[in-house]
């Protein structure tokens, strides 16, 4: 098992960013001793065409520092991602421009081929399509952002590799793996297939609340890294006050013996980095926190089962501008537009929260179930 490194970085000033990235690089032999001429692909989280100050995407200053170092070693550096939506040069160039990837000094992926993979060792993802530019990598670096996430609760290292699936095809994968445990295993399979050599988290300013795109910038003040994405996610979850049962990718990777929480070594005290008021919607996969209940709550749980823990997508109609993006992205075809507003068929909804992720004005939110609210209150 590997180590998780955590370095303070209070803001995105160049001096601070340079220091934290240099410390990160110095922690990994694979980066220190990188071979001249290597093709390095940085799979960054560029979830949407949004200004970096909104905190949905990896900050360009960090990517610039990493790119500058790799180029000084004679490497070719390419940054890429495939956010939801069409996977074309025009669309991605728009994303690169708005997220300021042009300022990083890296090449920006311009190969939009789609490749097919057969992965016999996978738990659930035996075959899949992926963004072909990744094939040119001698090594892949996974550079993600620490954010709340409607479906998976936390977006961090493991979730970031969903961006290896071409944007247009993502809804198909939600539909193929509607069960959240299977979806988590699909993400883990992607990590096992691509095996980034290093995983780095931009947690300088993360995102809480209505993440991963319409939440609030939230200072965490550090950069974390590890060769093991599961250990890294486990530590990041702890920082934002989540436990293993809250985040399915962590729970499932533990079950698959891909990490052992007791063997994680940290270079600094975790207590120095905890953010107690990082807002994440619990529920759905947080059954564990209801298991120790007694009395009335226990009775309600025994009658209602999982259903009563289930959060739901919910449209704040006053905020909604009627653009129908949610309807168009919904993999289950559960949304129809009625009088210019989305109507969700709860029987069809698979709770993938794509509608929440891609609503451009934050009108679609994750509504916490009543019982989860009650249990959260009790726990405070």
CB nearer to ligand SF4: give 320 or 371.
320
d(CA 331, CA 169): 10
170 scored as a contact of ligand SF4 (CB under 6 A): no
Candidate residues 66, 95, 332, 372; the one interacting with ligand SF4 per rule CB under 6 A: 332
Do the beta carbons of residue 172 and residue 144 sit within 8 Å?
Answer: no
Q: Measured from the CB atom, is 119 or 175 closer to ligand SF4?
A: 175
The C-alpha atoms of residue 365 and residue 342 are separated, in whole angstroms, by 12
Q: Which of 355, 365, 372, 375 binds ligand SF4 (CB under 6 A)?
A: 355
Near ligand SF4 by CB under 6 A, which window of 55-63, 106-114, 301-309, 316-324?
Answer: 316-324
Report the residue from 293, 323, 367, 376 that binds ligand SF4 according to the rule CB under 6 A: 323
Rounded CA gap, 203 and 240, in Å?
A: 10
> E strands within 134-277?
139-149, 153-155, 198-208, 216-226, 265-266
Three-class SS of 27-56: CCHHHHCCCCCCEEEEEECCCCCCCHHHCC
For ligand SF4, the closer of residues 78 and 285 by Cβ is: 285
Which of these, 7, 42, 50, lies nearest to 212 by C-alpha position?
50
Tell which residue, 107, 116, 43, has the closest CA to residue 77.
107
Look up residue 317 and give its two tokens: 């109609």
Q: Does 320 bind ligand SF4 (CB under 6 A)?
A: yes
Q: Which of 363, 365, 371, 372 binds ligand SF4 (CB under 6 A)?
A: 363
Give the residue with the Cβ less far from ligand SF4, 301 or 315.
315
- Does the protein bind ligand SF4 through residue 322 (CB under 6 A)? yes
Q: Does 321 bind ligand SF4 (CB under 6 A)?
A: yes
Does position 359 bind ligand SF4 by CB under 6 A?
yes
- Residues in contact with ligand SF4 by the rule CB under 6 A: 313, 315, 320-326, 330, 332, 334-335, 342, 344, 349-355, 359, 361, 363-364
């Amino acid at each position: 098992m590997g180590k998780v490194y955590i370095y303070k970085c209070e803001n995105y000033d160049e001096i601070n960013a340079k220091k934290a990235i240099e410390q990160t690089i110095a922690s990994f032999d694979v980066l220190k001793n990188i071979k001249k001429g290597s093709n390095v692909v940085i799979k960054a989280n560029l979830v949407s065409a949004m200004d970096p100050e909104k905190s949905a995407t990896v900050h360009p200053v960090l990517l610039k520092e990493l790119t500058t170092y790799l180029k000084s070693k004679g490497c070719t550096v390419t940054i890429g991602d495939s956010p939801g939506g069409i996977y074309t040069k025009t669309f991605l160039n728009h994303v690169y421009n708005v997220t300021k990837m042009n300022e990083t000094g890296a090449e920006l992926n311009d190969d939009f081929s789609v490749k097919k993979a057969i992965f016999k060792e996978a738990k659930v993802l035996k075959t899949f399509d992926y963004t072909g530019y990744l094939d040119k990598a001698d090594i892949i670096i996974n550079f993600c952002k620490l954010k709340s996430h409607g479906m998976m609760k936390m977006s961090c290292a493991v979730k970031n590799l969903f961006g290896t699936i071409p944007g247009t095809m993502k809804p198909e994968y939600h539909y193929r793996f509607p069960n959240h445990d299977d979806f988590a295993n699909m993400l883990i399979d992607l990590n096992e297939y691509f095996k980034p050599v290093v995983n780095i988290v931009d947690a300088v300013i993360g995102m809480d609340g209505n993440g991963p795109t319409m939440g609030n910038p939230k200072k965490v003040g550090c950069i974390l890294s590890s060769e093991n994405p599961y250990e890294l996610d486990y530590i990041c979850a702890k920082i934002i006050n989540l436990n293993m049962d809250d985040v399915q990718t962590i729970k499932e990777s533990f079950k698959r013996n891909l990490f052992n929480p007791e063997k994680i070594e940290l270079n600094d005290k975790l207590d120095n980095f905890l953010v107690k008021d990082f807002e994440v919607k619990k529920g759905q996969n947080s059954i564990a926190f209801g298991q120790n209940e007694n009395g009335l709550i226990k009775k309600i749980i025994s009658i209602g089962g999982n259903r009563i823990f289930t959060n739901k997508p919910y449209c704040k109609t006053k905020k909604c501008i009627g653009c129908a993006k949610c309807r168009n992205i919904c993999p289950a075809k559960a949304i129809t537009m009625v009088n210019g507003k989305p109507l969700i068929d709860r029987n069809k909804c698979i709770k993938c929260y794509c509608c929440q992720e891609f609503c451009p004005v934050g009108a679609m939110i994750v509504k916490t179930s009543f019982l989860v609210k009650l249990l959260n209150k009790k726990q405070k």
